[in-house]
Copies of this chain bind each other. A is one copy, B any other.
Amino acid sequence: MALHIEKIEKSKISEVDFNNLKFGQVFTDHMFECDYENGEWQTPKIRPYQALSFDPSAKVFHYGQAVFEGMKAYKDDNDDVWLFRPDQNQERINKSAERLDMPPFPKDYFFEGLTTLIKMDSDWVQKGADNSLYIRPFVISTENCVSASSSNKYKFMIICSPVQAYYAGEVRVVFADKYSRAANGGVGYAKAAGNYAASFYPAKLAAKEGYQQVLWTDAANHEFLEEAGTMNVFFRVNDTLLTAPTSDRILDGVTRKSIIQFAEDKGIKVEVRPVRVTEIIEAAKKGELKEMFGAGTAAVISPILGFAHKGEKFELPKIDDSYASFIKKSITDIQRNKAEDKFGWRFQVK
């Protein structure tokens, strides 16, 4: 395939303080871009990272026809660069796109663009346990027309941002009992732009009460625990891990499925089934709720220290041999080429 490349004249990397990065605000030297017009994807290109010109009538501004992905690259001690299960993200962005009536992006374009871009900007992937390069593939609708229908033009892009750890501080959540994130038959399972905007206001209300995340429940009755803002969720009741099954409301997270596979392989009992609010509260009251954690690319695993439900507050016990830290360390070691890759998850960028 053809890929047009225009290199920067001088890298801006020396201006970056890699020890004081705010998540997602600094971008690497280049970006990948490919336009869809006249029913096909045009020649993709890599160019210096830069602002682009958009007409105010571009559909993405009006109708939210946009999907995205989030992935990370890691550098090991030999300066080799690794991705984690990128095939999953490639497949998922096309699943998301289909639900939003957007054309699929060809797999070979995706991988050629992704790997070429990361190689060109590999200095931006820093070594060290907290460092990684956050990679954001996304597709936006670019037809200039304010009628509420599907666009006939799109732009696929990949931009990259060097990051440190995602969550600063402790995480406590509130179980949703009024607002909701997704409906049956809706777009909750897609990484659709609009899903995120819809969660900001409830998240702000939660933050005011001191909770860093909303734990979404089913919209119909708020009876089942589903997922958090950008994380799937696991509950450890005694020694069993519980997590909600994927559905058309829940994102099929790469971290979630990796944790399930890893845990089962280690002999940890995992139950993938609807998780009732009431059973988790009961378990918490009996002292059987040992752990809760979120799972997602940004933080791999974020322990959840407590939760609130309809004004009632619960604090989880401190625990020594937590599943969260064991699984996080194990998966992180696989991602960073520090442990055997038993499941074939690692992908070298070379």
Chain A residues in contact with chain B, CB under 8 A?
Answer: 22-25, 27, 31, 49, 51-57, 60-66, 68, 98-101, 134, 136, 138, 140-141, 144-150, 157, 159, 161, 176, 178-187, 192-201, 203-204, 219-220, 229-230
Check A198 against B194 for contact (C-beta < 8 Å): yes
Given contacts A27-B56, A134-B146, A192-B198, 20 further A-B contacts (CB under 8 A): A22-B145, A23-B145, A24-B57, A25-B144, A25-B145, A52-B53, A56-B159, A57-B159, A62-B138, A64-B195, A65-B200, A100-B197, A148-B196, A148-B229, A150-B204, A181-B183, A181-B186, A183-B219, A193-B193, A194-B194
Check A192 against B183 for contact (C-beta < 8 Å): no
Which residue of B is nearest A199, CB measured? Answer: B148
Check B186 against A61 for contact (C-beta < 8 Å): no
The distance in angstroms between the C-alpha atoms of A161 and B56, with both chains bound, is 12
A-B residue pairs in contact (CB < 8 Å), sample of 15: A23-B147, A27-B57, A56-B157, A62-B66, A62-B68, A63-B197, A64-B197, A65-B196, A65-B197, A148-B199, A150-B203, A183-B183, A183-B186, A187-B194, A194-B198
Contact of A197 among B52, B138, B176, B193 (CB under 8 A): B193
Q: How far is the CB of A284 from chain B (nearest CB, A)?
A: 24
Q: How far is the CB of A179 from chain B (nearest CB, A)?
A: 4
Contacting residues, chain B, for A138 (C-beta < 8 A): 61-62
Check B197 against A66 for contact (C-beta < 8 Å): yes
Check A64 against B185 for contact (C-beta < 8 Å): no
Check B64 against A64 for contact (C-beta < 8 Å): yes
Q: How far is the CB of A30 from chain B (nearest CB, A)?
A: 11
Contacting residues, chain B, for A179 (C-beta < 8 A): 185-186
Known contacts: A53-B51, A56-B159, A184-B219. The answer to whether A101 contacts B201 by CB under 8 A is yes
Q: How far is the CB of A152 from chain B (nearest CB, A)?
A: 11
The distance in angstroms between the C-alpha atoms of A62 and B60, with both chains bound, is 10
Contact of A100 among B62, B101, B183, B198 (CB under 8 A): B198
